[in-house]
Structure 1
Amino acid sequence: MSEHTSVSGSKEVGAIAHLYRAEAYRSTIWRQRLDMTTNWAVVTTGIALSLTFSSKEASALPLVLVGLLVAMFLHLEARRYRYFDVFRFRARILEIAFFVPILRGEGAEIKQDRGTPLSDDYVRPKFRISYLRAVGKRIRRNYGFIFAIQVLAYFGKIEIHPTDLKTYEQFLDRAAIGPIPGELALLCGLLFHMCWISIAIFTYFQERADKSETKDVLDWDEHQDDGIPPVQPY
Structure 2
Amino acid sequence: MGVIAHLYRGEVYRSTIWRTRLDTTTNWSVVTLGVALSITFASPQASPLPLILVGILIVFFLMLEARRYRYFNVWRARCRWLELHFMAPMLKEGDLHLEEHWQDRLANDYMHPRYHVSMWTAVGRRIRRNYFWILLIQTVAYIGKLIVHPLPVTSTEELLGRAAIGPFPGWLILTIGGVYCLSWGVIAIWSERTDAKRAQKRRDPLGMG
Q: Is structure 2 residue 85 aligned with structure 1 residue 107? A: no
> 2:127 — aligned with what?
139
Given that residues 81 and 134 in structure 1 are in contact (C-alpha distance below 8 angstroms), is that contact kept between their aligned partners in structure 2?
yes
> 1:21 — aligned with what?
9
Count of equivalent residues: 207
Higher relative contact order (CA 8 A, sep 6+): 2
Quote how far apart the aligned CAs of 1:165 are.
1.1
Out of 11, 25, 31, which is 1:37 matched to? 25
Q: What aligned pairs does 1:85-234 form with structure 2 within 5 A after superposition? A: 85-104=73-92, 106-107=93-94, 109=96, 111-113=98-100, 114-210=102-198, 216-217=203-204, 219=206
Given that residues 77 and 138 in structure 1 are in contact (C-alpha distance below 8 angstroms), is that contact kept between their aligned partners in structure 2?
yes
- CA 1:180–1:79 in structure 2 vs 1: closer, same or farther (change >3 Å)? same
Distance, in Å, in 1 between the alignment partners of 2:74 and 2:65 is 14
Residue type of the alignment partner of 2:42? S
Question: How big is each residue's C-alpha offset from its partner over 1:156-203, in whole Å with a ceiling of 9 and x where there is no partner?
Answer: 111110011111111101111122110110011111111111111111
Which ranges of structure 1 fall in alignment gaps of 5 or more residues?
A: 1-12, 221-232
Quote how far apart the aligned CAs of 1:109 are.
3.3
RMSD over equivalenced CA pairs, Å: 1.8
Distance, in Å, in 1 between the alignment partners of 2:24 and 2:38 is 21
Structure 2 length as normaliser, TM-score?
0.93
Question: How big is each residue's C-alpha offset from its partner over 1:115-165, in whole Å with a ceiling of 9 and x where there is no partner?
Answer: 222111011111101011001110111111100100000011111100111
Given that residues 158 and 165 in structure 1 are in contact (C-alpha distance below 8 angstroms), is that contact kept between their aligned partners in structure 2?
yes
Quote how far apart the aligned CAs of 1:111 are.
2.1
> 2:55 — aligned with what?
67
Distance, in Å, in 2 between the alignment partners of 1:110 and 1:209 is 28
Given that residues 89 and 218 in structure 1 are in contact (C-alpha distance below 8 angstroms), is that contact kept between their aligned partners in structure 2?
no
Secondary structure at the aligned position of 2:116 is classed as: coil
Amino-acid identity (%): 50
Given that residues 81 and 206 in structure 2 are in contact (C-alpha distance below 8 angstroms), is that contact kept between their aligned partners in structure 1?
no
Given that residues 92 and 218 in structure 1 are in contact (C-alpha distance below 8 angstroms), is that contact kept between their aligned partners in structure 2?
no
Quote how far apart the aligned CAs of 1:217 are.
4.0
Quote how far apart the aligned CAs of 1:43 are.
0.4
Higher helix share: 2
Distance, in Å, in 2 between the alignment partners of 1:150 and 1:18 is 44
